[in-house]
Chain A
Amino acid sequence: MSTATKDVKREELESVVIRFAGDSGDGMQLTGSQFTSATAMMGNDLATFPDFPAEIRAPAGTTYGVSGFQIHFADHDILTPGDAPDVLVAMNPAALKVNLPTLKKGGLLIVNTDAFTKNNLKKAGYESNPLEDDSLAPYRLLALEITRMTRAAVTEFNLGAKAADRSKNMWTLGLMFWLFGRDRQPTVDWLKKKFAKKPEIAEANIAALNAGHIYGETAELPSTVGVYQVPSADLPPGTYRNIDGNQATAWGLVAGAQLAGLPLFYGSYPITPASSLLHNLAKLKHLGVVTFQAEDEIAAVCAAIGASFGGSVGVTGTSGPGVALKGEAIGLAIATELPLVICDVQRGGPSTGLPTKTEQSDLFQAVYGRNGDAPLVVLAAATPGDCFYMAIEAVRLATKYMTPVMLLTDGYIANGAEPWPIPDVSKLEPFPVKFHEGPSEGFQPFLRRDDGTHARVWVKPGTPGLEHRIGGLEKAADSGNISYDPDNHHAMTKLRAEKVRGVADDVPAASLDQGEAGGELLVVGWGSTYGSIKQAVERVRKGGRKVAHLHLRNIWPLPNGLKELLEGFDQVMVPEMNDGQLARLLRGELLVDAVPFSKIAGQPFRISELVTEIERRLGDAAPRESSPEVRA
């Protein structure tokens, strides 16, 4: 049987945002990721945003058990999973309750009426059935008995009601494939592979998928429900794949270690949303990667430092609470000047906070969060694909400067996926590490290289004649021996700071991502807000305002030339998913009037929120220097 979509007249759309929502047991993440793969294959650019509850199995039917997956795809380059969905799939009343407020008025709403039982309505907090009053009137409602139709589709497999009902996400996916003209075959292949050991389950799911699709083909859908098509995006040519941030970080670390010519060691303790970094790397043993699931966060970082002491690239990955636990050990790596990469996949804090929600609130912890004057390098990745390159950069700086480097990502880009042009690894610039091997005369462990980095030499244990001891006690600059001398401590503290500051000379100077220097307002962002800010600034610029966007990848040290750039603007606005941490860093370091714009809701910025705020700050004042082509 062919799974290709029959020829029908399809309405062309530039871009669509779909949100799949259901109970955590409804398989919405799977549905979303299958829809994503099929969409990528159509040549659309896309961005996704999985949004799931903290509880593994939250009570069924409740609003806090709702799991969502949003995908935004378009015929043009896009950078965010979109603001308000055009299409909402709600598998139960709770999913409707949670997600309806975001659905665009006039948007397509698909609901599974079978789940709208008295009990489920009550659990979701509905007093009356929204399907029966007129509260859904502003939307194009497609109310379907998805459970019943799924059961009918899988009866021949005798699965029992519970197992049969598990296929209803595939039924829904089949219908969505029909509506958006996606190919079913890859999902069919995927199901066969996933359930290779239980072929009857695979077949039942395929039957459900096909039934949903056939329903779309044959049922007389209301005229308000169109079938759509989004032409493929105009992406630069190349070979593409989908990649999420944690996968990209993991692969970037492997690439970085190879470019350094060193083995990679990854020590970690499971923590949301960083665990998939460990999972990804654990699969790469064939590339020589050694992973170690430690007994706790501290053991994970210490083992990584032990591996670095032995001449590997030691890496640990975690989220904010884990970084807090690792603080003392990171200080040791600073004091002993060993390379170390710490990946902090940020989540909502403080304390346990919002484990499955995204936030950028570890910036202060990254830059300042240790005892003593303890500087290290802090980098931030802007998009899922960017994680690959920033992980390489983290390894490069850690090994070149003999310093810990903290790479900040967050739950949003760690779990979000985007089409990624696969780089040619043979074209990546190698940075081979040279271990110090002698002479033993005049050797001391804190001997500095003469390459201007202020980095100490790296000696592998096992090297004859260079036996040495290092530790967390202050050491004399000239001999490396323990020293309590006050002037020496002052000098060593300054030296460690200067070493890290010097990294600024080795990374790109500050530059604008969009716009021209010296305008009305500069939006300074960092990390995962890149896509939203870029598009918001684009929109405001279309209105003729002199707005620019600068996105920081180097958080510490700040890049050269930043102060001058910032000072050239009338206003500097810093949107952050925290209470103004980068803004305060910029104010403190550069003495510029950077004003925060905070969103601390566990959710990424919407483009519209940023546009509104930028316009509010610009006020009604005429553009300071309106450009002629805009005037015209």
Chain B
Amino acid sequence: MTENPRKLTRKDFASDQEVRWCPGCGDYAILAAIQRTLPKLGATTENTVFVSGIGCSSRFPYYMNTYGFHTIHGRAPTFATGLKITRPELDVWVITGDGDGLSIGGNHLLHVLRRNVNLQIILFNNQIYGLTKGQYSPTSDVGQVSPSTPLGSIDQPVVPVRVALGANAKFVARGYDVSKKLPELLEQAHAFPGAALVEVLQNCPVFNDGVFDLITDRKKGPQHQLWVEHGKPMITADGKKGLRLDPKTMQLELVELGEGGVSEDELFVHDETNRSIAWMLSDLPEVKALGVLYREPDAPVYDDGVRAQVEMAQEKAGGSDLAALLRSGHTWEV
């Protein structure tokens, strides 16, 4: 990152384009969180690039006063990969959605994560196709009624963070659109060297309003939120419940804290470097685990590896050039 000569603010990262999401869309909050986070990271507008696919969320780059590439449906991770491995000094963010990243682009998400390309991948999950007017998505619950499923969806949904864990992702986190903790999660994702996946639960008031209310509601939400922190016991945001490991079933169970319940030291302590714990946390009944579910420090970074091989080959070749290549092997004079 180049020296930041002038302290940038949130405004410096906003483009002159009118934001065209529906009023009340969760995307506004995510946009604000990212615009607020970037100055804190010491980011510059010229060295930051947002790459997106297609969908409501993928309009995102147009609203950022940075470099941006609004690509084609599902493929953002691939464009970002080509860009990042040729321009490693750039700070590249991928913006995708549940349809873009898990349906049409599922393959690319799998591979960008397993390769561990140094990117921040923000997956806006609203459990619906917004831009095409409300069809069910791969994360929609069974029974979702939509124009394409008038009798309810019979598809089993995918759990985005599970896809990521299954793909051997090295950084997996989850937050939600209007959460105050979202900027902090983004900061951690940014600090991680490698592919950092952040699933952001996002409300689509037009086609899937309130789908996450149980978690995001200001009053009732905290009892269903479980923000995990490395080395800390797992306690819901309202402080009333926690997770305990049942050694017989190897499952996490939700237990009452305090009087008549269990004490805090009986609760399970989060270890973000443990993939099995992340897996257990990924799809709990009643509560939603939020925060950094998994982080694998010191994993090899793909773009570093690409550069290292080129440098190694150059060193070994000692300035051998194209002319030498053309004359390599068997040649003869006529």
Residues of A that sit less than 8 Å from B by CB: 37, 40-41, 43, 186, 232, 235-242, 251, 254-255, 258, 263, 265, 267, 284-290, 292, 294-296, 298-300, 302-307, 309-312, 314, 328-329, 332, 336, 421-426, 460-473, 481-482
Contact = CB atoms under 8 A, between A and B. Distances in A.
A469 B331 contact: no
B314 interface: yes
Contact of A298 (B78, B81, B83, B86): B78
A329 B70 CA distance: 12
A493 B139 CA distance: 38
Interface string B124-142: 0000000000000000000
Nearest to A288: B310
Given A286-B316, A295-B111, A469 B67 contact: yes
Q: Counting chain B CB atoms within 10 Å of each CB, which of A41, A336, A461, A465 scores highest?
A: A461
A471 B327 contact: no
A251 B329 CA distance: 14
The 10 closest A-B pairs by CB, nearest first: A471-B70, A306-B82, A303-B82, A286-B317, A469-B68, A306-B79, A285-B313, A302-B78, A461-B67, A306-B83
B286 interface: no
B73 to A, nearest CB: 8
Contacts of B17: 481
Contacts, number: 194
B326 interface: yes
A423 B326 CA distance: 8
A239 B87 contact: no
Nearest to A285: B313
B62 interface: yes
B69 A309 contact: yes
10 contacts: A235-B334, A238-B334, A286-B316, A299-B108, A302-B79, A307-B85, A332-B72, A467-B45, A470-B70, A471-B68
B298 interface: no
A543 to B, nearest CB: 31
A348 to B, nearest CB: 27
A404 to B, nearest CB: 14
A286 B82 contact: no
Given A239-B332, A285-B309, A461-B49, A306 B81 contact: yes
A239 B86 contact: no
A307 B84 CA distance: 8
Contact of A241 (B81, B83, B111, B330): B330
B75 interface: yes
Contacts of B321: 287
A469 B330 contact: no
Interface in B192-214: none
A37 B310 contact: no
A286 B320 contact: yes
A207 B321 CA distance: 38
Instruction: Give the interface size class of chain B.
Output: 35 or more
A251 B17 CA distance: 44
B168 interface: no
B168 to A, nearest CB: 14
Given A292-B85, A310-B83, A422-B331, A471 B61 contact: yes
B323 A425 contact: yes
Given A265-B82, A286-B317, A462 B334 contact: no
Q: Which has the most chain B C-beta neighbours within 10 Å: A40, A232, A285, A422?
A: A285
Contacts of A481: 17
Given A43-B332, A286-B313, A422-B327, A461 B90 contact: yes
Contacts of A242: 330
Interface string B10-23: 00000101000000
B292 to A, nearest CB: 26
A267 B317 CA distance: 23
B46 A461 contact: yes
A306 B323 CA distance: 29
